[in-house]
Amino acid sequence: MSYLLRIDASASGDASVSRQVADSFTAAWGGDVIRRDLALDPVGHLDAAGITARTTPADRHTPEQKAAALLQDELVEEFLGAEAYLFAVPLYNYSLPSVFKAWLDHIMIVGRTIGMAGPARSAGRPAVVVSARGGGYGPGAPQHGKDFLVPALRTILGDANLLALDVRPITPELTYAPVVEPLRHLLPQHRASLEEAHALARRQAAEITEAMVTTGRSGLPRT
């Protein structure tokens, strides 16, 4: 049965805006969900054993390579088994949280998730990226052009030569406005951005669920 794979990367627990908006998506989702919380259960960074295990015959694996291959097999099969993805990935220091980058490094394997002779097995599957950020990064904002997370994930997740997912960003902004005094005058903009993000998350969940039911990919009955 197909499912939504939800990956959380925020270290802020229940206070995370990325998690809260992702919760709105999950609540509106019409099917099964498998969730991996990289803050509570991080995967280690890719090391030499993990890299060499990919090109070394299994019967010649060292104990370290065997353990690395088992982890990668688990993560890859979990990734490929999903029909849709929800990534709650906040903007940390203009870029990706390291725990999410580590997860990506483990699952991006040429010939398994990255296609060689043809398109990736995940090609065309929807991937909603919820990325909260403390400031404003839109046109005209002081931080405009300094978001190196969404552009990176559009390439890593969406490039036709890589995972080829249908990337759909949701970016609630100005999350520091309620807690950082110099930004308190931006509270109305923050609240509007947050409200819009929750609404978009619910809408995306409904649209993706409906599309999957229509195509028979969700495991849910057609109506």
Give residue for tokens 């688990």.
74
Give counts: helices (H), strands (E), the chain.
6, 5
Q: Minimal CA–CA distance to 115: which of 127, 123, 124, 105?
A: 123
223 assigned to some structural domain = no
What digits encode the pLDDT tens for the residues 133-184?
999 999 999 899 999 999 999 999 999 999 999 999 999 999 999 999 999 9
221 assigned to some structural domain = no
Domain that holds residue 73: 4-215
Composition of the chain by helix, strand, coil, percent to 5: 45, 15, 45
User: Position 181: which residue type?
Assistant: E
Query: pLDDT truncated to tens, each residue of the chain (223 aa)?
Result: 589 999 999 999 999 999 999 999 999 998 999 999 999 999 999 999 999 999 999 999 999 999 999 999 999 999 999 999 999 999 999 999 999 999 999 999 999 999 877 889 999 999 999 999 999 999 999 899 999 999 999 999 999 999 999 999 999 999 999 999 999 999 999 999 999 999 999 999 999 999 988 776 655 543 3
47 assigned to some structural domain = yes
CA 177 – CA 190 distance, rounded (Å): 7
Number of folded domains that form the chain: 1
CATH number for the domain harbouring residue 123? 3.40.50.360
